[in-house]
A and B are shown apart, each in its own frame.
Chain A
């Protein structure tokens, strides 16, 4: 790349569209040029692409659904504003000078806002007004720029919609550059609306011509990130707008990340009195995440899975760092891509039918890889000796077994998620949320190890055995509903059993109605467990209750309750195995935590340190590899300087450092017998100075005035 510029500097070269295409092609070739052969690579690439497309479309639908409510109310607001403005009503005339403003509370997950705003402006364009412009704070440093943005945004969109001649467009541009004031916009708006009102009656509704002037579409200005705007600029803009509001039906939408009091901080009363602010609350990002997880992770329909560790890394990035669902999705995408790229057996990670078909097409290499899988090895060990031999040698037999195993894996997933949901509905209402408030936490616990061996699970079951009837029945009904919707034989069975239990509860109700038993009344006080007790007290009461129960004869309800709990327990024990127990689980589960962390939660400082202390890590040069703590003298200068500086105290004598450096470097160049060994020549001196200034640039040393010819160290550690 070259520029015509005479001066030195950084230049931006935008890639031409031609090059983009080339990249697209090469994306696939990454998959092809690896060990597993081109065909499987292609297949995996396609699978990966399909899955990602599925995720993308489904997230869009999901987002639309989630934002529907708030968007609807916003649209309603904007419609109301545009209509009420023109009403002849006395009161609305009196306050017509206010600019209707929607304050949209979006939460601090700023990266997600773009999606919301784009769908919002699309919706507005479709249903309310063609005149929508979104502003970002970084584009509007001064009032001039803000006005320019508004004018350009509004007028350009219309140019694009109406397909005006280029000459007109050019003229428009000239005009804009001459004076960008709202007067221009006003004139333009009046011309536009006149034109369209002349056009429409003929086409659409000739009967409502009288309504036409009332239905003037508002001009919507969206401030995407209100906090980042310069308050002065915003105030001036609002002041200007209020002068035109009678001629130009303006409407503002403020995107607020923190709290609505920001408006009061930014705008003085004289300005905010010009606005008619209404608050809209969008749903919280945690709820959003919960729905996303529900949709993509807690379902058997989506073949790609995450292991507990990867999932918890993604979730903790979300909760600890950014609250951004978009970034979570990006993490999911990364895991997906990595899985299909790095795991050749991921051809089997797809829908059941396709997976079975792919299993028949596996070649010898793939089958060998299957034999290497730890989960498969465990499976083989469980078989008889004869079977073991055939599995390890006979390819066609292995293919058949593979198909069988894939089927069981799919069945496992089909049963796992409904059972998980049932367990969650039953336990989420328990005090102290022993198994987590969110289903995601329960899922993580189940992935980690056998859930029934965990202490929390056992105490949850104990609590369940003490639940009052009303609550228990309600949650059991919900469970039955969950199970009913599943198309699986075992789940159908379970559902039937559950419904039978529910039936018996009802019969019990009837029986109790006829003759209220006495021991019910006696038992009721301990059932009302105090909701907030500490664990110790809870345990004590539990123990007491257990003992009292043993001593007493159980009521029919209690018997039934125990039976129900046993049933749930049995369900859990038969279906909620962790995935590691399943043979071939590696096909579907992505487990490389280190890669995900490395890509999503980069730590620049650690990388710098690694690069300086083990240069071979990044240079991939084996000759630089050394034992612990030492450094090859052929390493880059900065690494040597870094290594030497680690051995110094807080102040480093530059001359000593130089001497040491020269000694190390000469070891690489000449044999130690020569006179020049360890001598500092000009080249070495220059190299050393460069290395030191690079270290200074990286922030390891800085010059100091405390002592001549010394530099100060800025890091701790070393000697």
Chain B
């Protein structure tokens, strides 16, 4: 598919004589690493003899419209023209300066990667780009991972030519991956290796980039018996037996980026099968100051218990609360499914003072701990920063995390959680 599209596209480009116009705007979409940018960029390289003027830019990088205009102007006309742009240029400025330049003798191409970000830009930008050809012999090529339907502005716009890049099939993946073979080993061996790799990973990952990365990482392990002279290149079964468990392990660690590729290589060199290296998510333990722990516990209770039950949990003489009234059926067990609810500061402090052992003076450092918990993202401030009186918070930690914390201070949190009563 990739080759077909490539040749098709190149032929189209070649067929255009300098004075012919290309289609005003082309929208290319397809999943990550399905060859969109590659086809476009490679075609410009490949057809160097045509000397097609083009500007390639990524929309992530264009923080402001100014940068976008500037990059386009710079790659077409050079820095001098780009510097003509005023400080915060509008579309009109861009058009004005573009018009001042000599008209194109052949089609100019503007390639925009990650075009989905254009939707967040000014409302008039995308429609204008789509019909930029009315200005001059210009074609805008938009590359995106999502379909055109989500782009269409409310006011309507010029419809671009849609071009879909389908995902690679397994065979195609194998062909592509086999291309970057190791120089010191035969192509057959490498393609055999790729087929093993695909056998393990194809079910979880079809991203070409990721697969390539994994192939590079594990190839040295694959070659190990060959290098040691234990196995011949033709003895495929043994090679497969050697690498398969290793790849399975890789799927759990390095593919998820639990372990970095550098560490993975080191692990291979050390030959430690036990997997002494802990992944990123294994380190969840956070050491906190004593009162911060209780503040966090109080925040968790405030987030997951309905406010009306506070009286029952934290008041010594709460009087009689009717059981039926207290345990409302629909409310029960749903709090943890619904996620944390916001609570005001007062409630947090009231719960804090009742759960913490001993008397705690309401000092400034207690309050500053709340805000440092917010910066550590263990609490989330719900109300706006400007709201000084009675700010509202949410607790942003998981049940497991809070259980660990409360275990260190000998606080049985399960007794205080409405959902688990």
User: Would B61 and A181 count as touching, CB distance under 8 A?
Assistant: yes
Determine the main DSSP class of A at the interface with B: helix
B59–chain A nearest beta-carbon distance, Å: 10
User: Would B262 and A228 count as touching, CB distance under 8 A?
Assistant: no
Residues of chain B contacted by A95 (CB below 8 angstroms): 213, 216-217, 261
- The listed residue (A147, A179, A236) touching B66 by CB distance below 8 A is A179
How far is it, in angstroms, between the C-alpha of A420 and the C-alpha of B149 when the chains are bound? 77
A-B contact count (CB 8 A): 152
Q: Does A270 contact B (CB under 8 A)?
A: yes
Binds B, one of A319-327, A455-463, A653-661: A319-327
A146–chain B nearest beta-carbon distance, Å: 9
- The listed residue (A178, A228, A277, A605) touching B257 by CB distance below 8 A is A277
From 348 to 372 in chain A, residues with beta carbon under 8 angstroms from any chain B beta carbon are none
Given A90-B183, A107-B287, A272-B257, the answer on whether A603 and B61 have CB atoms closer than 8 Å is no
How far is it, in angstroms, between the C-alpha of A142 and the C-alpha of B363 when the chains are bound? 34
Residue from B220, B283, B366 having most chain A Cβ neighbours under 10 A: B283
How far is it, in angstroms, between the C-alpha of A103 and the C-alpha of B363 when the chains are bound? 34
Residues of chain A contacted by B365 (CB below 8 angstroms): 317, 321-322, 601-602
Q: Does B347 contact A (CB under 8 A)?
A: no
How far is it, in angstroms, between the C-alpha of A230 and the C-alpha of B220 when the chains are bound? 39
Given A239-B60, A273-B213, A602-B363, the answer on whether A264 and B280 have CB atoms closer than 8 Å is yes
Given A239-B60, A278-B260, the answer on whether A178 and B216 have CB atoms closer than 8 Å is no
How far is it, in angstroms, between the C-alpha of A38 and the C-alpha of B115 when the chains are bound? 75
- The listed residue (A144, A259, A264, A602) touching B64 by CB distance below 8 A is A144
| Closest B residue to A143 using CB positions | B63
A175–chain B nearest beta-carbon distance, Å: 9
User: Would B287 and A279 count as touching, CB distance under 8 A?
Assistant: no
User: Would A227 and B363 count as touching, CB distance under 8 A?
Assistant: no
Residues of chain B contacted by A81 (CB below 8 angstroms): 262
Q: Does B354 contact A (CB under 8 A)?
A: no
Residues of chain B contacted by A177 (CB below 8 angstroms): 87
How far is it, in angstroms, between the C-alpha of A110 and the C-alpha of B289 when the chains are bound? 12
- The listed residue (A103, A260, A277, A602) touching B364 by CB distance below 8 A is A602
User: B-contacting residues of A (Cβ < 8 Å)?
Assistant: 80-81, 90-91, 94-95, 98, 100-101, 103, 105, 107-108, 110, 142-144, 147, 177-179, 181-183, 225, 227-228, 236, 239-240, 243, 257-265, 269-270, 272-273, 275-279, 284-285, 317, 319-323, 601-606, 699
Residues of chain A contacted by B387 (CB below 8 angstroms): none
User: Would A322 and B64 count as touching, CB distance under 8 A?
Assistant: no
User: Would A603 and B284 count as touching, CB distance under 8 A?
Assistant: no
From 356 to 372 in chain B, residues with beta carbon under 8 angstroms from any chain A beta carbon are 361-366, 368-369, 372
9 closest A-B pairs (Cβ-Cβ)? A94-B216, A603-B363, A321-B365, A260-B280, A320-B290, A276-B260, A144-B63, A602-B364, A227-B377
Given A90-B183, A178-B83, the answer on whether A108 and B286 have CB atoms closer than 8 Å is yes
User: Would A273 and B257 count as touching, CB distance under 8 A?
Assistant: yes
Residues of chain B contacted by A181 (CB below 8 angstroms): 61, 63, 67, 71
Provide a sorted-by-A list of 24 A–B residue pairs whose CB atoms are within 8 angstroms: A81-B262, A91-B219, A94-B212, A108-B289, A108-B292, A181-B63, A227-B376, A228-B375, A236-B60, A239-B58, A239-B60, A239-B114, A240-B58, A240-B60, A240-B61, A259-B283, A261-B283, A273-B209, A275-B260, A277-B257, A320-B289, A320-B291, A323-B288, A601-B364
Residues of chain A contacted by B183 (CB below 8 angstroms): 90
| Closest B residue to A81 using CB positions | B262
How far is it, in angstroms, between the C-alpha of A604 and the C-alpha of B32 when the chains are bound? 55
Q: Does B384 contact A (CB under 8 A)?
A: no
Q: A100-B262, A273-B213 are in contact. List 18 more A-B contacts (CB 8 A).
A: A94-B213, A95-B217, A108-B289, A110-B375, A110-B376, A144-B64, A178-B70, A225-B375, A227-B375, A227-B377, A228-B375, A240-B61, A258-B377, A275-B260, A277-B257, A321-B292, A322-B289, A601-B364
Q: Does B17 contact A (CB under 8 A)?
A: no
User: Would B283 and A279 count as touching, CB distance under 8 A?
Assistant: yes
Residues of chain A contacted by B288 (CB below 8 angstroms): 108, 323
Q: Does B180 contact A (CB under 8 A)?
A: yes
| Closest B residue to A237 using CB positions | B60
User: Would B361 and A278 count as touching, CB distance under 8 A?
Assistant: no
B180–chain A nearest beta-carbon distance, Å: 7
User: Would B289 and A90 count as touching, CB distance under 8 A?
Assistant: no
How far is it, in angstroms, between the C-alpha of A313 and the C-alpha of B58 when the chains are bound? 56
Residue from A177, A258, A322 having most chain B Cβ neighbours under 10 A: A258
B83–chain A nearest beta-carbon distance, Å: 7
A383–chain B nearest beta-carbon distance, Å: 44
Q: Does B119 contact A (CB under 8 A)?
A: no
- The listed residue (B114, B290, B363, B376) touching A601 by CB distance below 8 A is B363
How far is it, in angstroms, between the C-alpha of A258 and the C-alpha of B285 when the chains are bound? 8
How far is it, in angstroms, between the C-alpha of A301 and the C-alpha of B378 when the chains are bound? 43
Given A100-B262, A179-B70, A259-B286, the answer on whether A147 and B63 have CB atoms closer than 8 Å is yes
User: Would B287 and A322 count as touching, CB distance under 8 A?
Assistant: no
A645–chain B nearest beta-carbon distance, Å: 19
User: Would A108 and B376 count as touching, CB distance under 8 A?
Assistant: yes
Residues of chain A contacted by B285 (CB below 8 angstroms): 259
User: Would B60 and A321 count as touching, CB distance under 8 A?
Assistant: no
| Closest B residue to A605 using CB positions | B362
Q: Does B15 contact A (CB under 8 A)?
A: no
How far is it, in angstroms, between the C-alpha of A80 and the C-alpha of B362 when the chains are bound? 50
| Closest A residue to B366 using CB positions | A321
Q: Does B210 contact A (CB under 8 A)?
A: yes
User: Would A258 and B378 count as touching, CB distance under 8 A?
Assistant: yes
User: Would B213 and A91 count as touching, CB distance under 8 A?
Assistant: no
| Closest A residue to B377 using CB positions | A227
User: Would B61 and A243 count as touching, CB distance under 8 A?
Assistant: yes
User: Would A276 and B261 count as touching, CB distance under 8 A?
Assistant: yes
Residues of chain B contacted by A239 (CB below 8 angstroms): 58, 60, 114
